[in-house]
Amino acid sequence: MVLLYVVDLDPSLTALHRLGGFFVLRTAVTAGRPLPTLAQAYGPRSPDVQGDVLTSRVRRVAGALRVPEARVAASVAQQGLAARLWSVALGSAALYGAVPDLAPPLLRWDPEGSAPDDLWLTGVRPLPGDAATLAELVLHGHLEPLAAALRSRHRLAPGLLRGNAASALAGAARELDAWGRRHGRTDVAARAASLTAELLAHPLLTGAGSPAGAAFRRRSCCLYYRVPGGGVCGDCCFARPPRSSPRAPSG
């Protein structure tokens, strides 16, 4: 049994700030304009493109990466948000032994922000830090509706989005493993590894890749190699960028 130094959540989630930018979760909205919730982002496609929160984010990512294919930007945007959600949830569970309620209506998001995605939680309500709770919060609460929303707007394969979700989880676990070892918190590293192994065996993630300790090799490609100047990621199924084929419609 892993013993944690912190057994409850503090109202500002300050322990997460020590882990790095992907793990930070603000608990007070500091933006000077009204921000949408993630529940709004996952909603039906708006006929007003300018008012569609998710489309705005994909366009922001496309502009930042200078990529002409909307589906590539959509994949990168999904993986970036998945990385933030997994980092917050896994980091909280590993450090605190509890996780804040991350229900989409409680999380505000700045679709025009830079990476990593800016997230604000409107109220900290502790929940158990076990794998079942993390799966319910992140996989079912966010990544399922996010994938459905993106696929309604762009031609993205389900396996690609599943691979992105698994890759983001494995990446968060690697960061926690490295942080725990650097700071003499092997309990944090062990807890993160145990939770990650359980989560990667979840039906929504199983088969997405091959874990080996802190390493992970996915079975799909996130399309980052199609970004100008991009290449293959460290956990990509390809050893080198595939030969470019004629660009498929992005939908």
Q: Per-residue pLDDT averaged across 154-177, rounded?
A: 95
Q: Could you tell me if 37 and 107 are in contact, meaning their C-beta atoms sit under 8 angstroms apart?
A: yes
- Look at the block and give the residue holding tokens 């996010």: 146
Span 191-206, pLDDT tens digits: 999 999 999 999 999 9
Q: Could you tell me if 88 and 102 are in contact, meaning their C-beta atoms sit under 8 angstroms apart?
A: yes
- Look at the block and give the residue holding tokens 């199924």: 237
Backbone torsions φ then ψ of 4, nearest 5 degrees: -100, 145
Predicted local confidence at residue 249, as pLDDT: 34
Comparing 26-30, 81-85, 105-109, the range with the smallest average pLDDT is 26-30
Predicted local confidence at residue 50, as pLDDT: 66
Q: Per-residue pLDDT averaged across 226-233, rounded?
A: 86
Span 99-130, pLDDT tens digits: 999 999 999 999 999 889 999 999 899 999 99
Q: Is the dihedral of CA 157, 169, 148, 150 positive or negative?
A: negative
Q: Could you tell me if 219 and 210 are in contact, meaning their C-beta atoms sit under 8 angstroms apart?
A: yes
Q: Please, which residues have CB within 8 angstroms of residue 42's CB and are 6 or more apart in sequence?
A: 54, 104, 142, 145, 146, 148, 149
Q: Which two tokens stand for residue 148?
A: 């459905």
Q: Could you tell me if 52 and 45 are in contact, meaning their C-beta atoms sit under 8 angstroms apart?
A: yes
What is the pLDDT of the chain when averaged over all its residues? 88
Of 37 and 14, more confident = 37
